[in-house]
Amino acid sequence: MAQSPARPSKKPTRKPAPAKAPARRPTSDAATLAAAVAEFARGKFDVKFRPEDYADPGLRLVAEALDSAGGDVGTQLKEFNERVQNVSHGVDEAIEALIRLVVQGDLSGELRLSVTDATLTPLIAGIGQVMETLKRFATEIREAALQLSTSSAEVLAAATQNESSTAAQASAIHETTATMEELKGASHQIAENAQMVAAIAEQTLTGARQGEGSIKLFMASMEKVRHNAVEVDEAIGKLSKRVERIGTVVEVIDEIADRSDLLALNAALEGAKAGEAGRGFSIVAAEMRRLAENVMESTKEIKNLITEIRESTHAAKQASDGNKREASEGEKLGGAAMTSVSGILTGIQETSDAARVIHLATQQQRTATEQVVLSMSEIEEVTRSAQSGSRQATGAASELTKLAERLAELVKRFKVD
């Protein structure tokens, strides 16, 4: 460090005050001496005690001692003033050196003063310590500025990344909110559809139960049909037996009529052989034969009727058997239909229950979705705030980076090496 040039002290040199004549002559020597001592005590060190003016020897000795002491005090005061001037000059020089090193930022040298006074040694040592402290501070600040610059750059990068992420997050949340809105609408639609399905299932259930009742009635009718068919079959059997009996009787009648016809023919034959005598016999025989032929015609008609009745009863028997088979088949089909309808009823009941559960679940889902949408809106709002904060943080980080660079530039001004 360059030594500070000496400069004249700005403080004026203290001069002894001129002795002032007493305002009035003391009335005694002791009083005169006391007044002189009082003047001296007030700092008027050039006062003259004039020992020769005192007649009393004691006062003279006191005046002589005081006069001697006054001379010494003046000399010492002069030396003191000179020393004060030197010290003041050294302090000014030190302050000027401090101001200069602070302004120039050069902390690499040492403080050297032109004035050498022991009184200034602590000041020089203190300034040295201050410089060392400043040098350490400058070094630490430089390192801190460097770290701050690095950290602020990292903070800027992180803030930029955070801002980008927040923007992406806000976009994703916005899309998620829109999707949840659509999901809410879909949930509403599903709930309505599930309610409709439940209503349809309920209607189908009612219809299926009616169908079940109809099938039961159908099965009862089938059983009655089968029962009636059995009765008809039995009646046809009885009718057939009676017809057969009638046929047998008719056969007997026909046989008798045939024999009667044959007998009448032979009677007519014999009458004809007898000639005129047998004419009446022939007439009776002819009449008998006509009756027999009538009987045979009737029995033939009866046989035809019996044949028709046989065919009809046979057809009725076949129809009755068919009715029994159909009734039995109908009962089986009714049983199968009953089983199917029971399964359908179970399925419809399950469908109805499931649709009702789906309806409730979708209602809960809709409520939950609405809450999610609300939460997503709040999250979106918070994310927008976070995005704004991130933008501000990025701006602050950028500003911080600039300030760190500025600080590093400023710290570079301090030369410590």
170 exposed, middle or buried (CB, 10 Å; 0-12, 13-18, 19+)?
Answer: buried
- 254 residue type, one letter: D
Q: Is 100 in the site for another protein (CB under 8 A)?
A: no
CB crowding 219-232: b at 16 or more within 10 Å, else e: beebeebbeebeeb
- Site stretch for another protein (CB under 8 A), options 81-89, 113-121, 270-278, 401-409: 270-278
* Residue among 282 and 387 whose Cβ is closer to another protein: 282
Which of 269, 284, 315, 368 lies at the binding interface for another protein (CB under 8 A)?
Answer: 269
Residues 6+ apart with CB under 8 A from 141: 407, 411, 414
Asked whether 264 and 286 are in contact (CB, 8 A), the reply is yes
Output 259-268 pairs: Cβ under 8 A, ≥24 positions apart. Answer: 260/288, 260/289, 260/291, 260/292, 260/295, 261/289, 261/292, 261/293, 261/296, 263/288, 263/292, 264/288, 264/289, 264/292, 265/289
Say if residues 111 and 131 touch (Cβ distance below 8 Å). yes
Among 120, 229, 250, 268, binds another protein (CB under 8 A): 268
Q: Provide the minimum distance between the beta carbon of 282 and another protein in the complex, in angstroms, as a whole number.
A: 7
For residues 97 and 205, give the distance between their C-alpha atoms in angstroms, rounded to a whole number: 108
Stretch that binds another protein, among 99-107, 179-187, 206-214, 271-279 (CB under 8 A): 271-279
272 near 278, Cβ under 8 Å? Answer: yes
Q: Which residue, 165, 229, 141, is CA-closest to 390?
A: 165
- Residue in 273, 314, 332, 406 binding another protein, rule: CB under 8 A: 273
- List 51, 211, 271, 330, residue binding another protein (CB under 8 A): 271
Could you tell me which stretch among 23-31, 184-192, 239-247, 272-280 binds another protein (CB under 8 A)? Answer: 272-280
Binding mask 218-257 for another protein (x = CB under 8 A): ----------------------------------------
Binding of another protein at residue 262 (CB under 8 A)?
Answer: yes
Q: Does 155 bind another protein (CB under 8 A)?
A: no
- Cα separation, 260 vs 238, in Å, equals 32
Pick out residues in 277-306 that bind another protein (CB under 8 A). Answer: 282, 286, 289
Q: Output 123 or 286, the one with its CB closest to another protein.
A: 286
Does position 265 interact with another protein (CB under 8 A)? The reply is yes
Per CB under 8 A, the list member of 17, 102, 272, 374 interacting with another protein is: 272
| Contact call for residues 317 and 233 (beta carbons, < 8 A) | yes
Q: Quote the least distance from Cβ 259 to another protein, whole Å.
A: 8
Our measurement of the distance from residue 412's CA atom to the centroid of its chain's CA atoms, rounded to an integer in Å, reads 52
Q: Which is nearer to another protein, 134 or 285 (CB)?
A: 285
Binding residues (CB under 8 A) for another protein: these are 258-259, 262, 265-266, 268-269, 271-273, 275, 282, 286, 289
